[in-house]
Structure 1
Amino acid sequence: MESNANLNLQRSVRATEATLVYHTVKHHESFNSLDCTAPLCKSIYPDSKIAKDVTCSRSKAEAILKNVLGPFAQENMLKEVSKIRYLSVSTDSSNHGAIKLFPVLIQYFNPEKGGIQVKLLELQALPNETAETISTYIHTILTDKNLLDKLIAFSADNTNTNFGGRERSGTNSVYSRLKSATQNDDMVGVGCIAHIFSNSVHHAIESLPICVDSIVMQMHNHFASFTVRTEALKKVCSELEIDFKRMLSHSKTRWLSLYPAIERILQMYEPLKSYFLSLSYPARTLQMFFENDFSECYLWLLHSFMSIYQSRIKHAETADISVNEVIDQCSQVVENINERLEQNFCPMKVTEILRRLSEARRDEVEDFKQNMRRIGDPAAEQSATWSSYGNSSTMNPIGSPQKGAPQVMKVEEGMASISVSARIPEFWREMPRLWFAQFEATIAPQKQGDECRFQLVVSKLNREALQQVADIIYSPPETNKYQVLKERLLQVYEESPERQFQRLVGELDLGTQKPSQLLRRMKELARNSKASDETVKNLWITRLPVPVKTVLAASQDQQVDNLAAIADKVMENMQPITGETAARSIQLKRQTDQGRLAKAEPS
């Protein structure tokens, strides 16, 4: 009995020591802390036999981690990964003096563990960071652990070594070498989206006439270690009844630091302006910045624009984000920027300042409004061209397309399709050929492939249109998918020449259109029905009001487009009969009729 008690005590002591080591590693504490932890436990728990026998200094803790906990965790992880269907691998170098450490992380989905899992597979020092060295390192690790056939995605930062540049061309990057090693041309390549978003913001900043990075750093450095200057600013804040806040620093390698720094300047803008312009010898850059009445406008504009990226960068830096979420974040950013550009969006604060300046400086205000677009165009282009991802929804466990599934679009096309998708309207069933003309003009600069064009068109079809092409979607041809889909949609929805001529002759009216708009619609119908220009002209004139016909008949210029311009002007000068005018006329007629009836009645 005594030997069993001693054995149980020894097991409890070992379990306690292993738990202490695990707790230290999990919370990123130093092993040096364990030198005093064991003696501390003995003092806190003097009656505990387990605490009395625990001896877990830093040397012993390191041995427990390397020889017990580490191998045990690796064994459990490999058992778990052996049951999953596919995974992605990530790596990046970390310099520790002259040593370059390369951790290899794997990410996979395990519903039994609650979703996405991220595990450290290996950590080694490499002699250099060439594409050949890194790809061989990853390939060897995955092969040794029987995981190579599960690899469908590679994630790293956006260097040429990892991806071969923005176009991801060539055969000497880590990404291209892994695709070759796995014989999977459809492997998804995921760059650092936070880095892409940060670069997009800086592309926008470079388009501004002020150097925002320099302004932020100069303001911070001016007050950072100078008590007298800080106290002077506090005094200005007190006079203006604004709460004092310290200036924030910014570093280009800290992607989330610029937005709060700009926000802090805006919160303190009036005190800062008063302070710097009151100095006898202020820094010339800061003096020019605060003397420019449009500087605050630029900061508010940039602040509003950066808010789109700030939340996305935070989300991208979470531990369990998936590639699908990354693609979704890219899509939302590009769509939001494009929507702002299309709507000529202007933040409310900027609108207030411009309204205040517009009376005295109208020309400069107009120039500012025209230049506002410059902040969005370069950022949208940067986000779209660098965010190149594939669609892995049809991947099988080894990363190649499933048999019978649509071919996965090339990686270079993935994000480019997202950038143009927001500018393509839903399919026009009443004007299918015109819709395809606009569609092809929109995607022409991106030089999209057949698969990408096919998927873009499918994404713009409603339920009824999808039913008409369901057989093509389920079983697309090997080649010319887009052309086959286009021809089917034109066959179903485009009216025959006979039907178009029938509409041209008998169904079109002016209604609320301008005469020129009616003429263009009639020309469109006549194009396929092969009606002559003279026929279209005569049919068009018969649908115009009599006053307009009279003016056109007296015109010496009988060219139909010129007649349409004249008809538009005549219609603009004609008094329209509004609903209010018609109601007033009816009421007057009723009053007149009632008066006549009253006179006609016998007394």
Structure 2
Amino acid sequence: MYFQASGGRMAAVEHQQKKKHKASLIARVGMPSATTFFKKVEPSQEEYDLAVQEGVFAYMLTWKLDKLKFTCARTKCEAIVSNVLVPWSTTLVTEDLDQVEFVSLSIDASNDGHVKLLPIVVRYCKIYDGNTSVETKQLDFVELKVETAEEIAAEVLVVIQKCNLENKVVAFSADNTNANFGGLNRLGRVNVHTKVKNALQWNGQNRPNMAKTALDMIPLDVEYLLTKIFGYFHIFTVRVERLKSFRKFVGQEYHNILGHSHVYCLSMLPALERVLKMYVPLKSFFLLKTNALLSCEQCLKIH
């Protein structure tokens, strides 16, 4: 409502006496509340099914579950994720963390354009109905203003305190950079590991190369072994078909042997897992080869 400055209070009084203003007041009083348009009955099974589909759709599953049609655009998906899925998943993780005694934390900052992002991940062992599983959950996903040891450690400590993990953290994992574990000039003081360790009064030791050192203790060259096994079967159809026959003999599903290249460091684990899945057929295959190939079988005996 707008009145000229010269009209003042008299203009407002005159406006209240007009028929149009009185009619608007009467119409507003007689208008029902918005809550009267809300459904008050229990939803039907079909509506429950529809809600489930919308939730699954918001969870980024793209396949069609059944013939029910629905619309779930950006606004509804955002509401489902923010008000349903996030609180529900947070509750599940919180309940798990209340039950466990020990956890490990992992971080790995990465860039999305000019934005520096820091996911904070927790790993713990869960026992449910007699079954044991190793769970990996994301606790937070924060944006860093500057990538310094002080800021990263502060974000990690905020998550630890929020989830009540002060007395449960037994390990800290991150890439081997100076900001995370310190360098020659930092002398073990100005880095994330030391700051988190001191804040928690934790006796954990800095072992950024522990996995690499442990791998060097294995009495064989795993990378060389994977390369040789892959090369032996890669382009030889006869050898692959014979290996498949051993697979049938031991009653195991066949899986192609995966290759590994030192250029792609992340390919070693999948290649090793595939060899372990095919361990029994591979062992039988090489045991029946000539004495020249028995060395390959001996290499497969990974203790």
Kindly provide the amino acid, as one letter, of the partner of residue 6 in structure 1.
K
Q: CA deviation at 1:248?
A: 1.0
Conserved in 2, the CA contact under 8 Å of 1:88 and 1:151?
A: yes
The number of aligned residues is: 247
Q: Secondary structure of the residue that 1:120 maps to in structure 2?
A: strand
Tell me how far apart the structure 1 counterparts of residues 207 and 49 of structure 2 sit (CA, whole Å): 42
Kindly provide the amino acid, as one letter, of the partner of residue 41 in structure 1.
L
| TM-score, normalised relative to structure 1 | 0.31
Tell me how far apart the structure 1 counterparts of residues 231 and 176 of structure 2 sit (CA, whole Å): 31
Q: Which residue of 2 aligns with 1:70?
A: 86
1:259–1:70: structure 2 CA closer, same or farther, 3 Å change rule? closer
1:211–1:185: structure 2 CA closer, same or farther, 3 Å change rule? closer
Conserved in 2, the CA contact under 8 Å of 1:87 and 1:151?
A: yes
Q: Which residue of 1 aligns with 2:60?
A: 30
Q: Secondary structure of the residue that 2:269 maps to in structure 1?
A: coil
Kindly provide the amino acid, as one letter, of the partner of residue 60 in structure 1.
K
The structure 2 residue matched to 1:300, chosen from 290, 297, 300, is 297
Q: Secondary structure of the residue that 2:83 maps to in structure 1?
A: helix
Gaps of 5+ in 1: 43-53, 224-228, 274-292, 309-603
Conserved in 2, the CA contact under 8 Å of 1:171 and 1:177?
A: yes
The structure 1 residue matched to 2:189, chosen from 171, 174, 180, is 171
Q: Secondary structure of the residue that 2:39 maps to in structure 1?
A: helix
1:218 aligns with 2:231: yes
Tell me how far apart the structure 1 counterparts of residues 286 and 194 of structure 2 sit (CA, whole Å): 50
Q: Which residue of 2 aligns with 1:93?
A: 108
1:198–1:295: structure 2 CA closer, same or farther, 3 Å change rule? farther
1:248–1:13: structure 2 CA closer, same or farther, 3 Å change rule? same
Conserved in 2, the CA contact under 8 Å of 1:105 and 1:118?
A: yes
Tell me how far apart the structure 1 counterparts of residues 232 and 82 of structure 2 sit (CA, whole Å): 49
Q: CA deviation at 1:68?
A: 3.3
1:259–1:122: structure 2 CA closer, same or farther, 3 Å change rule? closer
1:127–1:265: structure 2 CA closer, same or farther, 3 Å change rule? farther
Conserved in 2, the CA contact under 8 Å of 1:219 and 1:247?
A: no
The structure 2 residue matched to 1:249, chosen from 253, 258, 279, is 258
Higher share of residues assigned strand? 2
Q: Which residue of 2 aligns with 1:141?
A: 159
1:56 aligns with 2:72: yes
Tell me how far apart the structure 2 counterparts of residues 96 and 219 of structure 1 sit (CA, whole Å): 40
Q: CA deviation at 1:187?
A: 4.6
Q: Secondary structure of the residue that 1:41 maps to in structure 2?
A: coil
| TM-score, normalised relative to structure 2 | 0.54
Q: Secondary structure of the residue that 2:142 maps to in structure 1?
A: strand
Q: Which residue of 2 aligns with 1:19?
A: 52
Q: Which residue of 2 aligns with 1:258?
A: 272
Kindly provide the amino acid, as one letter, of the partner of residue 258 in structure 2.
S
Q: CA deviation at 1:271?
A: 9.6
Q: Cα RMSD between the aligned structures?
A: 5.3
Q: CA deviation at 1:41?
A: 1.4
Tell me how far apart the structure 2 counterparts of residues 31 and 37 of structure 1 sit (CA, whole Å): 10
1:216–1:68: structure 2 CA closer, same or farther, 3 Å change rule? same
Tell me how far apart the structure 1 counterparts of residues 55 and 83 of structure 2 sit (CA, whole Å): 13
Kindly provide the amino acid, as one letter, of the partner of residue 170 in structure 2.
A
Conserved in 2, the CA contact under 8 Å of 1:91 and 1:102?
A: no
Tell me how far apart the structure 2 counterparts of residues 142 and 129 of structure 1 sit (CA, whole Å): 19
Higher share of residues assigned helix? 1
1:9–1:260: structure 2 CA closer, same or farther, 3 Å change rule? closer
Kindly provide the amino acid, as one letter, of the partner of residue 297 in structure 2.
W
Kindly provide the amino acid, as one letter, of the partner of residue 141 in structure 1.
V
Q: CA deviation at 1:138?
A: 0.8
Q: Which residue of 2 aligns with 1:492?
A: none
Could you give the per-residue CA deviations for residues 441-460 of structure 1, whole angstroms, max 9, x where no partner exists? Answer: xxxxxxxxxxxxxxxxxxxx
Tell me how far apart the structure 1 counterparts of residues 138 and 51 of structure 2 sit (CA, whole Å): 20
Q: Which residue of 2 aligns with 1:41?
A: 68
Tell me how far apart the structure 2 counterparts of residues 24 and 191 of structure 1 sit (CA, whole Å): 41
Conserved in 2, the CA contact under 8 Å of 1:32 and 1:58?
A: no
Amino-acid identity (%):
16
1:59–1:271: structure 2 CA closer, same or farther, 3 Å change rule? farther
1:204 aligns with 2:219: yes
1:301–1:21: structure 2 CA closer, same or farther, 3 Å change rule? farther
1:85–1:246: structure 2 CA closer, same or farther, 3 Å change rule? closer
1:247–1:134: structure 2 CA closer, same or farther, 3 Å change rule? same
1:267–1:21: structure 2 CA closer, same or farther, 3 Å change rule? farther
1:163–1:153: structure 2 CA closer, same or farther, 3 Å change rule? farther
Conserved in 1, the CA contact under 8 Å of 2:108 and 2:175?
A: no
Conserved in 2, the CA contact under 8 Å of 1:250 and 1:258?
A: no
- Which structure 2 residues correspond to residues 194-343 of structure 1 after superposition, within 5 A? 199-200=215-216, 204-206=219-221, 211-221=224-234, 223=235, 229-230=236-237, 233=239, 237=242, 248-251=257-260, 253=266, 254-255=268-269, 257-258=271-272, 260-261=274-275, 263=279, 267-269=284-286, 296-297=294-295, 299-304=296-301, 306=302, 308=303
Q: CA deviation at 1:139?
A: 1.5
Q: CA deviation at 1:170?
A: 1.6
Tell me how far apart the structure 2 counterparts of residues 57 and 20 of structure 1 sit (CA, whole Å): 13
Q: Which residue of 2 aligns with 1:365?
A: none
